[in-house]
């Protein structure tokens, strides 16, 4: 676990498109000149690997990470952040905002807020702005597809954003990388590009569904002792699409 030991070829999610995007957004926030706004949004449909990206970014930059819950109030958000920081919470909300801001300024660590949608619908958005105004710290918010539209209502918030980054649908490179991480590295099974294209199509380019399909293929390949799987080998094998099953019809 040493920092210098980089010679070993360790598996990493770093080459995935969305992980790299989230990382570059965070880097932009950190490198920005201080007169530019310091908040950013990373948003996209569920299953695109946003949380994996968030996790990678949080550990890389030692960000304070919170994941919002639908039941959270302003106070709950502040308590969660303070808990992450290890600061004993003060009693009132405005004092807590000051505590959070102070710790962000002194430590220089960024703040990462996942599932931000949950608190956009409440007044809590203003709270995040208060924290930002008081600390000028980099704040990365992660949310679902509708997140920017929901934020539009809060104009004062809206123009403090440095970057709006949409999570990208997986492409063939991502599929190759996932196949490498989940199939080739653990079990030494190679997957051909034509099969990966099918996987991409059936998964509608969502990373989570791609992983499910890769697992299907991996299991079948192990059963059949395939070392190399392409479209022809897979033949009529089913792939997972994530669709709910259709109504069954009685055969006439």
Partner 1 sequence: MSEIRPGRDRGRKPVSLTHAAQGVVSTQDAVWQVIRQFPGEFAHRDVCRAAQGVMKTGVNDDTVRSYLRRLAAGGYLESRDQKTSASGKPLKGAARQRLYRLVRDTGIETPRLTRDGQPVTQGQGQESLWQTLRILGECNAQELAQTANNARVAVSLADARHYIKHLHACGYLVMTSRNNGPHSMARYRLLPSRNTGPKAPQVQRIKVVFDSNTGETHVPARHQKGGPE
Q: CB of residue 75 vs partner 1: minimum separation in angstroms? A: 18
Report the alpha-carbon distance of residue 4 to residue 27 in Å, rounded: 22
Say which DSSP state 8 is in. S
Among 87, 93, 134, 169, binds partner 1 (CB under 8 A): 87
| 188 versus 245: smaller Cβ distance to partner 1 | 188
Report the alpha-carbon distance of residue 181 to residue 45 in Å, rounded: 22
| 28 versus 60: smaller Cβ distance to partner 1 | 60
Report the alpha-carbon distance of residue 245 to residue 69 in Å, rounded: 30
| 136 versus 154: smaller Cβ distance to partner 1 | 136
In the region spanning residues 122 to 151, those forming contacts with partner 1, defined by CB under 8 A, are: none
| 134 versus 161: smaller Cβ distance to partner 1 | 134
Is 220 a binder of partner 1 (CB under 8 A)? no
| 103 versus 203: smaller Cβ distance to partner 1 | 103
Q: Based on the number of CB atoms within 10 Å of its own CB, is 108 exposed (0-12), middle (13-18) or buried (19 or more)?
A: exposed
Is 12 a binder of partner 1 (CB under 8 A)? yes
Contacts of 153 (CB under 8 A, 6+ apart): none
Question: Taking CB under 8 A as the rule, which mask of x and - marks residues 187-216 in contact with partner 1?
Answer: x-----------------------------
DSSP states along 204-232: TT-HHHHHHHHHHHHHHHHHTT-SEE-HH
Is 224 a binder of partner 1 (CB under 8 A)? no
Q: Based on the number of CB atoms within 10 Å of its own CB, is 221 exposed (0-12), middle (13-18) or buried (19 or more)?
A: buried
Is 31 a binder of partner 1 (CB under 8 A)? no
| 85 versus 139: smaller Cβ distance to partner 1 | 85
Beta strand 161-166 pairing with 190-191? unpaired
Residue 155 phi, psi dihedral angles, 5° rounding:
-55, -45
Q: Which residues in this chain contact partner 1 in the complex, by CB under 8 A?
A: 1-3, 5-6, 8, 10-14, 51-52, 54-56, 58-62, 65, 67, 83-87, 102-103, 106-108, 114, 181-182, 186-187, 218, 222
């Amino acid at each position: 676990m040493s920092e210098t030991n980089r010679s070993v070829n360790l598996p990493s999610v770093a080459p995935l498109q969305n992980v790299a995007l989230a990382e570059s957004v965070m880097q932009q926030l950190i490198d920005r000149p201080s007169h530019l706004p310091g908040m950013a949004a990373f948003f996209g449909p569920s299953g695109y690997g946003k949380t994996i990206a968030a996790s990678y970014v949080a550990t890389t930059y030692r960000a304070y990470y919170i994941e919002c819950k639908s039941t959270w109030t302003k106070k709950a958000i502040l308590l969660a952040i303070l808990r992450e920081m290890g600061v004993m919470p003060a009693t009132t909300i405005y004092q807590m905002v000051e505590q959070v801001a102070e710790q962000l300024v002194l430590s220089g660590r960024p703040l990462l807020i996942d599932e931000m949608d949950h608190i956009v619908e409440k007044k809590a958005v203003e709270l995040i702005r208060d924290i930002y105004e008081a600390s000028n710290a980099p704040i990365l918010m992660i949310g679902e597809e509708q997140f920017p539209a929901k934020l539009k209502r809060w104009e004062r918030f809206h123009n403090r954003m440095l970057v709006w980054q949409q999570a990208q649908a997986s492409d063939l490179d991502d599929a190759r990388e996932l196949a490498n991480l989940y199939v080739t590295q653990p079990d030494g099974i190679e997957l051909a590009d034509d099969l990966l294209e099918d996987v991409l199509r059936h998964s509608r380019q969502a990373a989570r569904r791609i992983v499910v399909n890769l697992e299907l293929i991996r299991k079948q390949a192990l059963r059949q002792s395939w070392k190399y799987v392409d479209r022809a080998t897979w033949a009529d094998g089913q792939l997972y699409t994530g669709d709910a099953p259709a109504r069954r019809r009685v055969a006439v």
